[in-house]
Amino acid sequence: MSWGEVRLRTKLEDCLSVFPDDAEDPCHLDVAAPNDVLIQRARDAFFGLDPDVECCFHGSRILIHNPEPNNGLEGRAKHLSHGLDNRTGAKYLHIEKCRWLPTIPKTLANAAAIFDDPRDQSILFARSYGMHGIHLVVVRLNASGLKTGEISGQLITHFKHKHGDRQDVFRMRWKRQK
């Protein structure tokens, strides 16, 4: 199968082998630092991003500086650089999320595909950065959905794809032609 043969509603796991490989390198954050320095770097990277970005889908805009309900923008910055231990519920500094944080706008602007999360009104923007891996950005849509020139959704989280994750069964809503 080639990318041109991939159809809408295809599962993410079924099209990974033909995902278009963008020759562009991701904007990785330097993560070679003690945790306190890395936390500050990730925070600074988040606040250095434009508040919203035009995404790949017909000029829709995505709010990057989306405040957490109880902790505002500081909470969102922490969410984008930390993980959650499913066994204990404890938050921890997630090095890969820190590394990929500055790449969020590039992934939204040039995603190869958008996938639906069957659990809620979230969508997943996916872009391959070749040997660096596939970056996934989760966005919660507004009730009106993706609209040209409007803020259509808010950034929720992001991460590097790992085989076997629950996102592998998400189905494609839209794909870039090349």
pLDDT in tens, the chain (178 residues): 899 999 999 999 999 999 998 888 899 999 999 999 999 999 999 999 999 999 988 788 999 999 999 999 999 999 999 999 989 999 999 999 999 999 999 999 999 999 999 888 899 999 999 989 999 999 998 877 766 667 789 999 999 999 988 999 999 999 998 7
Q: What is the pLDDT of residue 149?
A: 66
Angle (CA) 158-98-42 rounded to 5° is 110
Residue ranges in 3-134 assigned as alpha helix (H) = 12-15, 35-48, 72-79, 95-100, 104-110
CA dist., res. 58 & res. 56, Å (int): 6
Q: What is the pLDDT of residue 22?
A: 86
Q: What is the pLDDT of residue 148?
A: 66
Six token digits for residue 176: 């870039």
CB-CB contact of 128 with 22 (8 Å): yes
CA dist., res. 76 & res. 159, Å (int): 14
1 lies in some domain: no
The pTM for the full model equals 0.93
Q: What is the pLDDT of residue 63?
A: 94
Q: Produce one character per residue of 101-110: b if its CB has 16 or more CB atoms within 10 Å, e if not.
A: bbbbbbbbee
Domain enclosing residue 125, as ranges: 6-175
Q: What is the pLDDT of residue 169?
A: 94
Six token digits for residue 98: 């820190």
**Residues 6 or more apart in contact with residue 71 via CB below 8 angstroms:** 78
Domain count, the chain: 1
Q: What is the pLDDT of residue 121?
A: 80
